[in-house]
Structure 1
């Protein structure tokens, strides 16, 4: 009976010891797991380094930055409008746009009825020529298209003639016979038409308009200003 009692007591003790050991092992396992979790949280992963930009990308960024900068405008001096060259075909067809502008009288010639013939002389401040796109007015004569109108407001048909690179338009203007002669740059006045004593002030390197009237054989020479 005593032996059974000792045996039962020993068995109970072993069971108690086993339970305590199992509890201690579980506690140790939980502590280790907690420690491992703490360790994992403490060691954070490093972010991967950004790749370096290539030279081409850097140059592209620099070009874009330069393009975004405001461009400074240079105030250039305004250029004067270019004067068109004398166009004889347009003049023949009644369009005078190519000769609209400023003209200056540089010489005159007249027969003063003193038995010495016609002579070149100084300019006349009363002389004037007015040119628009559709007509040319000088003294009492107006050229418009293929018609010449005189001071009596009577219009007469004009005649056209080309002479050594120059254009001559002529016709009756009232009691006088008049002509409008157009000389482009580089075309000289001929001695046959204007005499051997043409003044040097009449230059060939500029455009000229020569007007003639049978009234005292009066001639006016204008050059483009």
Structure 2
């Protein structure tokens, strides 16, 4: 919030973002329905899977950054790293209040949440290869104590070759960081290892290479086993 506040003189949207944060209750509580986060690099089928899972469970589908701020995403993506990070971090806190509200009425599926914000930040800040990442169980891999915690986090993974094939087939607009993932396999490895080191909650890895139907079945079965 401090970073975004300092941006208000030259980024008018920063003020609008802080207004949204001010509207969020200070302490949000999860409702009685399960909250499941689905994470994954681009082209792992995340968007398709989140939609299918939400349909199957009659769940509300939310994403981070949430719709109310995603129109400013491009603007903040072009800013220096510290400002970009603050935008994505705050987006998680805004979506947390939506999760709290919706999880009182139905299951909630979240397309990306804190883990992706953290893993991309870690991979960007740490220069050199995977060996330079903070060791497993380092506090940086812990969930923030003041952020609503999901019941389950699933990480969709596909091989780098399969991902490249899918990305070329889609011809999509990518964020600067997604472009970096393609250009730089070391960066991608740092993101993937950081994901695997996240704790409380840890990510359960799902192989997203098989057909859409098989991946959906695997995801639904993990949800059934882990959310009661």
Q: Tell me if both proteins adopt one fold, taking TM over 0.5 as the criterion.
A: no
Q: Which has the higher contact order (CA 8 A, sep 6+)?
A: 2
* Structure with greater strand share of residues: 1
Larger-gyration structure (1/2): 1
Q: Higher helix fraction: Structure 1 or Structure 2?
A: 2
